[in-house]
Amino acid sequence: MILSPGRGYAFVHAPKTGGTAMALALEARAMADDILIGDTPKARRRRGRLKGAQTAGRLWKHSTLRDVRGLIPDSVLDALVPVTLVRNPWDRMVSYYHWLKDQSFEHPAVGRAKMSGFADFVMDAEVGEGFRRNPYASYVAGGRDPIFLRLEHLDTDLAPFSALLGFDLMLPMANRSVRIRDWRGYYDDATQKRVADICAQDISAFSYSFDPGEPA
């Protein structure tokens, strides 16, 4: 997450959407008073600024806009334009699964991915509830009308954010998991329908479909 009163935006990093690349691009042009939360190099160097902060929720790279209430005055936070990346949910699920399998820290989701095939992981009740409970809109709720950036359409969706920033962003590659790029081969009918169900809000909001290029 990045809060930039100077440039008027709050970048909120929803998991497995390309947010690390965005955070790196933004922190490369960060202003002196920008608040960076996460594990990118500049965010780590500025971590001391967060010590003792009293906030509504957890401060970490995937904090929601509501989580950071209290970090800066409400009047300042409410003036920022929330920005977040979104991604095709079927693609995101594959990325999430492979990323978890590569991790070594202790967390129920990591253990679930390491012990399960992809189909069992998708059908898992806890995994499903996590996606259902946290649609993209929930990350930027409680503030101004957000800018949503579809990962698949950054060439057009970045325009309003670039206008706000006053410069064009160049996004590096970061945190890419080792996997087949076309997600469709990972799915059977049951798992395809499962993602359609648990991510229905995101699919509807951003007109995603299982087959790229086809309308939802």
Burial of 74 per CB tally in 10 Å (0-12, 13-18, 19+) = exposed
**What integer pLDDT is reported at residue 175 of this predicted model?**
55
**What integer pLDDT is reported at residue 126 of this predicted model?**
95
- pLDDT confidence of 8, banded at 50, 70, 90? very high
Tens of pLDDT, residues 163-212: 999 999 988 765 555 556 789 999 999 999 999 999 999 999 999 999 97
**What integer pLDDT is reported at residue 144 of this predicted model?**
97
Q: What angle do CA 80, 84, 87 make, to 5 degrees?
A: 170
DSSP states along 19-51: HHHHHHHHHTT--TT-EE-SSSHHHHHTGGGGT
DSSP states along 134-201: --HHHHSTTSSPPEEEEGGGHHHHTHHHHHHHTS---PPP-S--SS-S-GGGG--HHHHHHHHHHTHH
Mean pLDDT, to the nearest integer, of 143-162? 96
Proportion of the chain above pLDDT 90, given as a percent? 88
How many Å apart are CA 155 and CA 69, to the nearest integer?
32
Tens of pLDDT, residues 48-61: 999 999 999 999 99
3-state secondary structure of 117: coil
* The CA-based dihedral angle spanning residues 45, 33, 24, 66, taken in that order and rounded to the nearest 10 degrees: 100
Specify the residue for token string 């693609």: 91
How many Å apart are CA 15 and CA 4, to the nearest integer?
20
**Pairing of the two strands 9-12 and 2-4:** antiparallel
Domain boundaries, given as residue ranges, for the chain: 2-206
Structural fold of domain 2-206: Rossmann fold (3.40.50)
How many Å apart are CA 144 and CA 155, to the nearest integer?
23
**What integer pLDDT is reported at residue 182 of this predicted model?**
87
The closest alpha carbon to 78, from 7, 10, 162, 1, belongs to 10
**What integer pLDDT is reported at residue 213 of this predicted model?**
64
**What integer pLDDT is reported at residue 84 of this predicted model?**
98
Instruction: Mean pLDDT check: name the lowest of 19-28, 34-43, 103-112.
Output: 103-112
Mean pLDDT score of the chain: 93
| Whole-model pTM over 0.95 | no
